[in-house]
Amino acid sequence: MSLGQEAAELDARDPLASKRAEFDLDPQVAYLDGNSLGAPPRSVARRLEEVVREQWARRLIRSWDEGWWDAPERIGDRIAPLVGSAPGQVVVGDSTSVNLFKLLVAATRLNPGRQEILVDGTTFPTDGYVADSAARLTGHVVRRVAPGEMPGAVSERTAFALVNHVDYRTGELHDLTGITEALHAAGALAVWDLCHSVGAVPVELDAAGVDLAVGCTYKFLNGGPGAPAFSYVPARWQEAFDQPLTGWAGHADPFAMDEGYAGRAGISRARAGTPDILSMLALDAALDVWGDVTVGQVRAKALALGEFFLRCLDELVPGVEVLTPRAPARRGNQVSVRWPGAREALAMLTAQDVICDFRQPEVLRFGLAALYTRYGDVLRAARVLSGWPG
């Protein structure tokens, strides 16, 4: 059986094939960049029109009391099952960078007397920038360590470690439970960045005992460009959670207009400013696609897509350097390859309607968003790379 025949059969048997119809995607395009920007669910445009025409235009300011004000917590509870969290521990709002700053400063206050912060040495640059800034403000010292080396690097000096669940460049999946346990054994806290894992791989924050976590919603959750991020603060830390951006939305009585600050109870104290309602309700609509599918199903298909893509690369592009671990348990939902002249190759792929992305140094990333990615899409990408017709 040829690779083309196999791709057609796999797509025909795909139990998630019908989900693609829920997204507004050009059928002629092989979209393999959901790890950077998720495709738009069709429900989003309809919901936004309703929000603008009915809630904003008709109800006006009354809409704040009719669902807008509590949207960060309500939508957080919709994300909670996707990250293995009980209700009341996830809140949506602000960007990933802003939320990360809140969590990192709060983590130093939750674990005082320790002057070191461990940061994932392969982290997305923003995480390192924010960690360095938080350390300057709090008097801590940052030490960069590869995730796999953290169990041996943590000590009694370590306040917490900031780790990416999935490496943004290579797609490697790190051991959330094992690293968290090692940090806790040394008295340190575990702070996780879930940007490349939420909606892609199973995440069990409560079961693993994670202390704090942050994630974005515009990748595998398809919330739209610049969609608000989320913060996870488990119930055991909420009363002591002392974040630095003490804005009015996190106040115990926001409309009392008190001069002094007192944090709200529960997860709401992680809020800061006025919610960005249009983006937030677009995300709310995007989450509807999860109503009849589980992360486990998505993960199973993404692993199968990855296996097929790797075989296509091996057969059609022999010798290509695959940066993503081949062992299924060690990779997220993307495949990255090192490609000399990657920027030029990206232009070639794009010209043939194969959409992926590029990261330094010379890395092509192919996202396997299982809700809408087809086996034929990954075969097409391998064919273009090999010089075959698309």
Q: Which residues are annotated as a binding site?
A: 96-97, 124-127, 193, 196, 218, 248, 274
- Cα angle 199, 205, 206; round to 5: 135
Q: Are 114 and 141 in contact (CB under 8 A)?
A: no
Q: Is the peptide bond before 325 cis (omega within 30 degrees of 0)?
A: no
Long-range contacts of 45-50 (CB under 8 A, 24+ apart): 46/285, 47/281, 47/282, 47/284, 47/285, 48/278, 48/281, 48/282, 48/285
Query: Look-up: residue for tokens 């909670």?
Result: 80
**Burial environment of residue 109 by CB neighbours within 10 A (0 to 12, 13 to 18, 19 or more):** middle
DSSP state letter for 40: P
Token readout for 342 is 């990657």
Annotated binding site for pyridoxal 5'-phosphate: 96-97, 124-127, 193, 196, 218, 248, 274
Alpha helices in the chain (DSSP H): 3-13, 42-50, 71-79, 96-110, 125-138, 150-153, 176-185, 205-208, 235-238, 277-286, 295-316, 342-351, 375-386
C-alpha gyration radius of the chain: 22
Token readout for 267 is 């997860």
Residue 142 bridge partners (DSSP): 117
Q: What is the spatial distance between Cα 5 and Cα 343, in angstroms, rounded to a whole number?
A: 31
Residues acting as catalytic residues: 124, 193, 218-219, 365
